A and B are shown apart, each in its own frame.
Chain A
Amino acid sequence: MSTNVFFSKGTPNEQHLYEDLAIEAIQIYGHDVFYLPREMLNIDELFGEDALSKFDDAYGIEMWMETQEGFEGEKELVSRFGLEIRDETTFVVSRRRWDQVASQSSNLISTTRPNEGDLVYMPTVKRLFEISFVDHDDPFYQIDNLPVYKLYCRTFEYSSEVLDTGIAGIDAIEDKRSLDQLIWQFLGEQGPTTIFNQQIDLEFGTVYGNNIAGTIGAGVVELEDATDGAGSQLLGENETGFEAVLTESSTAEYNFFIINESYSVATQAPQSDNEFLETEALSILDFTETNPFGEPTDST
Chain B
Amino acid sequence: MLGQYFYHESIRKTIVAFGSLFNDVFIIRKNAADKEVQTLKVPLAYGPKQKFLVRLVGDPNLDQKVAITLPRIGFELTGIDYDPTRKLNRIIKQKKVANPAGKTMNIQYAPVPYNLSFEMFVMTKNSDDGIQIVEQILPFFQPEYTVSIKEVPEMDIVRDVPIILNNISYEDTYEGDFQTRRAIVYTFSFSAKCYVYGPVSTQLPVLKADVKSYADVTKATAERVQQYSISITGTQEGDDNFGFNEYTSEWIDAAP
**Separation of A233 and B29 alpha carbons in the complex (Å):** 27
User: Can you list 8 A-B pairs with a CB-CB distance of less than 8 A?
Assistant: A51-B129, A83-B55, A85-B59, A179-B40, A182-B39, A272-B43, A274-B23, A288-B158
A47 nearest in chain B by CB position: B127
B133 within 8 A of A: no
A1 within 8 A of B: no
Residue numbers in A under 8 Å from B36 (CB-CB): 182, 255
Q: How large is the interface on A (under 10, 10 to 19, 20 to 34, 35 or more residues)?
A: 35 or more
Residue numbers in B under 8 Å from A127 (CB-CB): 65
Contact of B67 among A52, A154, A257 (CB under 8 A): A154
Give the Cβ gap from A295 to chain B, nearest Cβ, in Å.
9
Q: Return the CB mask of B49-70 against A: 1 if under 8 Å, else 0.
A: 1010011011100011111111
Residue numbers in B under 8 Å from A81 (CB-CB): 45, 47, 68, 72, 74, 121, 123
Q: Return the CB mask of A148-167 against B: 1 if under 8 Å, else 0.
A: 00001011111110000000
Q: Are A41 and B178 in contact (CB under 8 A)?
A: no
Q: Are B44 and A285 in contact (CB under 8 A)?
A: no
Scan residues 109-126 of chain B and give those whose CB is less than 8 A from a CB of chain A: 121, 123-126
**A41-B59 contact, Cβ under 8 Å, with A81-B123, A82-B72, A284-B149:** no
Residue numbers in B under 8 Å from A56 (CB-CB): none
Contact of A285 among B39, B40, B147, B179 (CB under 8 A): B147
> Which of the segments B11-19, B97-105, B213-221 contacts the partner chain?
B11-19
Residue numbers in A under 8 Å from B148 (CB-CB): 285-289, 291
| Most chain A beta carbons < 10 A, residue from B38, B49, B58, B74 | B38
Contact of A158 among B32, B45, B70, B121 (CB under 8 A): B70
A49 within 8 A of B: yes
Residue numbers in A under 8 Å from B68 (CB-CB): 81-85, 157-158
B30 within 8 A of A: yes
Q: How large is the interface on B (under 10, 10 to 19, 20 to 34, 35 or more residues)?
A: 35 or more
Q: Are B13 and A284 in contact (CB under 8 A)?
A: yes
Q: Are B29 and A83 in contact (CB under 8 A)?
A: no
Give the Cβ gap from A56 to chain B, nearest Cβ, in Å.
15
Q: Are B146 and A293 in contact (CB under 8 A)?
A: yes
B181 within 8 A of A: yes
Q: Are B69 and A269 in contact (CB under 8 A)?
A: yes
Give the Cβ gap from B20 to chain A, nearest Cβ, in Å.
4
Residue numbers in B under 8 Å from A169 (CB-CB): 65
Scan residues 145-193 of chain A and give those whose CB is less than 8 A from a CB of chain B: 152, 154-160, 169, 173, 177, 179-182
Q: A residues touching B (Cβ–Cβ < 8 Å)?
A: 41-42, 44, 47, 49, 51-52, 76, 78, 80-88, 116, 121, 126-128, 132-133, 152, 154-160, 169, 173, 177, 179-182, 255, 257, 265, 268-274, 277-278, 280-281, 283-289, 291, 293-294
Q: Are A158 and B178 in contact (CB under 8 A)?
A: no
**Separation of A270 and B70 alpha carbons in the complex (Å):** 13
**Separation of A78 and B51 alpha carbons in the complex (Å):** 7
**Separation of A269 and B69 alpha carbons in the complex (Å):** 7
B31 nearest in chain A by CB position: A42
Q: B residues touching A (Cβ–Cβ < 8 Å)?
A: 13, 16-17, 19-20, 23, 29-32, 36-47, 49, 51, 54-55, 57-59, 63-72, 74, 76, 121, 123-129, 145-150, 158, 177-179, 181
**Separation of A85 and B20 alpha carbons in the complex (Å):** 28
Q: Are A179 and B66 in contact (CB under 8 A)?
A: no
Give the Cβ gap from B16 to chain A, nearest Cβ, in Å.
5
**A52-B65 contact, Cβ under 8 Å, with A78-B51, A83-B59, A277-B19:** no
Q: Are B17 and A284 in contact (CB under 8 A)?
A: yes
**Separation of A154 and B181 alpha carbons in the complex (Å):** 9
Q: Are A86 and B128 in contact (CB under 8 A)?
A: no
Give the Cβ gap from B214 to chain A, nearest Cβ, in Å.
51
Residue numbers in B under 8 Å from A126 (CB-CB): 63, 65
**Separation of A201 and B64 alpha carbons in the complex (Å):** 42
Q: Are B128 and A44 in contact (CB under 8 A)?
A: yes
**Separation of A291 and B76 alpha carbons in the complex (Å):** 27
Contact of B20 among A180, A257, A277, A294 (CB under 8 A): A277
Q: Are A47 and B17 in contact (CB under 8 A)?
A: no
Residue numbers in B under 8 Å from A128 (CB-CB): 65-66
Residue numbers in A under 8 Å from B145 (CB-CB): 294
**Separation of A275 and B132 alpha carbons in the complex (Å):** 22
**Separation of A183 and B163 alpha carbons in the complex (Å):** 35
Residue numbers in B under 8 Å from A51 (CB-CB): 29, 38, 125-126, 128-129
Residue numbers in B under 8 Å from A180 (CB-CB): 38-40
**Separation of A13 and B145 alpha carbons in the complex (Å):** 75
Q: Are B67 and A84 in contact (CB under 8 A)?
A: yes
**A285-B64 contact, Cβ under 8 Å, with A83-B59, A179-B41:** no
**Separation of A268 and B46 alpha carbons in the complex (Å):** 17
Q: Are B67 and A179 in contact (CB under 8 A)?
A: no
Q: Are A270 and B57 in contact (CB under 8 A)?
A: yes
**Separation of A44 and B65 alpha carbons in the complex (Å):** 27
